[in-house]
Structure 1
């Protein structure tokens, strides 16, 4: 009985693994074909792009400069910083001076009306935007020239928000390779597959908003209902009767160097946010890596009259081979050490999943935050 249950789980999990990879390849290649022939933007409505900045990442000059090279005539750029003394402010001012013909401004100030520091930084940009379509994009997103057209290409009549998950690129060092393993052939794969099946979830890296929709729901402060603005965005859009959609070919996030601690802290932070906001979808994440299928293969091996170790090896080869095929077909980052990074990621998944259940707090860019309900936080802060 156990052997048959293990075989069924192995078959279903492997089918989902291969199908999600195939859907992702189809989406990305379709998106890549569009980007090669994307319109200049003359037929598209004017757009305001709001980019919050906070500190400097290794490739921020590259990513922020890409904003000034977009092919879209009706474009307004608004950069937002909470503080004048932020390290990113001189860079933004220099880029604006180097591109005087681009309609761009830098706004300084912090709102502090929500628990989310990034959201508080963006509120002033939303209020100042002139156009009815607004893109909110993190400072570490590398925008291709057709960025705006690709965002609009995903827009449909029933779409309230268009997003893009990040695709890790330009990693420096092994732990940055592990972050690519998390971002690309794992997280982006599942997000694209879910969106293809009609279950799109917002991702905060790039968001194309219909201004009237969000203003009707309460404006930017409405995204403060959750500590993660992308989770709040998903709930707001669905609450208004619309869907979230993803672009076909997600945009790059150049990584640079990473440490083990940075990777673990970032993944645990995202895990706790997912657990707090969508626990029903978070619960089965433990089964989405290769460890559970390989364990099932070992249990089911007697049914095929093969050695358990051989069954584990064949299953692992199939799962890793599928990821390699996905990375190659999509053009996502893959080098000789990528399979090792994928293995390390899958070994880390149970640890991250458990930490997602066993804590509420995390630190984001020097800000201590929590996913706990306000009443729980208040109770914890009472004097003994």
Structure 2
């Protein structure tokens, strides 16, 4: 029995290491410039916005300073009295030559508040290439170049997972290791073996293609627009591809409750939209191989401390090496943050199987396997 447990523990550690190697090979360091494009078509960037966030002024400035010959910015808000409208106007005054517009309205086409907010921007976009970009993405000057460079002959969508940066406080550090060396790593590892799936933070679409298959309304088929996008693209025989290096999402301060709320919400969305892929998530992190290895050690009458240390080192050292090599956030708090993350992960997974209401940027929503609905409030990013 101890041999079976030891083999199971070793297998989980090996799978973890393989995922790190795949992501390492697939991704470039954060500071790597985008390849020079062979063509520079005009682009529309649709940004759903709601409320003021920690870095709103900076993320807006970045959107106005992109190094691309022709692009328009379309900001979408549900309410004209939203305070973010003033921030957008002030940013526009600093860059008077940049083509931009602010669209106000709440089109209830789905249970997804962000998708509702984006619809008017999609319809107003003048160019064939459209980026749907969350308002808290910190766009580098070569943002569009990176997205365009990710487009291949068999692409139906190019996107980027968020890369957590600028954490303030321990719980923001925990969110960084959730986003970066855990979620981004597995997303890039999956794409490298042909299992690419969309991430809604930055999504580059060829508008005529999506319009020919239902337009933005087609993404209302699922509660999460990125899940619907993945299924739609795959149904067309195309693939979801990722940029070579993810774009930053500066975090600022986070509380434990905010972290739990975000992770449990995303877990429930994954469970509802891709249950067969969500189920094995219980095997991720250090806890499963650690418990299996310690069980084998007890049965074999082997000292527990060296076994626990060996498993922890085999899991965490490669993960820290990946983060350091790619220029992601690494600090003295990274290792304890990884440990806390991995202790949380089984609880987050269990929470993902439960129904109930959640708060999504001020919108009360009910997520169920049978149906999901927007209970009230206004649409946001």
TM-score for both structures, normalised by structure 2: 0.94
- The residue that corresponds to 1:208 in the other structure is 204
Matches for 1:1-384 after TM superposition, within 5 Å = 1=1, 3-29=2-28, 32-35=31-34, 38-39=35-36, 43-301=39-297, 306-372=302-368
1:319-372 per-position Cα deviation (integer Å, ceiling 9, x unaligned): 111111011101100100110000000000011111111224311011111222
1:17-64 per-position Cα deviation (integer Å, ceiling 9, x unaligned): 1121122222222775453xx32x572211111111011110111112
Q: Is the CA contact 1:161–1:243 (under 8 Å) kept in the aligned structure 2?
A: yes
- Which runs of 5 or more residues in structure 1 are unaligned? 378-384
Cα distance, 1:170 vs structure 2: 0.3
- 3-state SS of 1:14 partner: helix
Report the Cα distance in structure 2 between the residues aligned to 1:308 and 1:374, rounded to whole angstroms. 45
Greater Cα shift, 56-65 or 261-270: 56-65
- 3-state SS of 1:363 partner: strand
Q: Is the CA contact 1:133–1:208 (under 8 Å) kept in the aligned structure 2?
A: yes
Report the Cα distance in structure 1 between the residues aligned to 2:20 and 2:7, rounded to whole angstroms. 20
Cα distance, 1:302 vs structure 2: 6.6
Report the Cα distance in structure 2 between the residues aligned to 1:313 and 1:31, rounded to whole angstroms. 31
- 3-state SS of 1:322 partner: helix
Greater Cα shift, 21-30 or 84-93: 21-30
Q: Is the CA contact 2:9–2:289 (under 8 Å) kept in the aligned structure 1?
A: yes
Q: Is the CA contact 1:201–1:244 (under 8 Å) kept in the aligned structure 2?
A: yes
- When residues 313 and 149 of structure 1 are mapped into structure 2, their CA distance, relative to the original with a 3 A threshold, is same
Report the Cα distance in structure 1 between the residues aligned to 2:8 and 2:152, rounded to whole angstroms. 36
- Paired residues, number: 374
1:296-326 per-position Cα deviation (integer Å, ceiling 9, x unaligned): 1112337987412311111112211111101
Root-mean-square deviation over aligned CA pairs: 1.8
Report the Cα distance in structure 1 between the residues aligned to 2:152 and 2:339, rounded to whole angstroms. 38
TM-score for both structures, normalised by structure 1: 0.93
Report the Cα distance in structure 2 between the residues aligned to 1:75 and 1:113, rounded to whole angstroms. 27
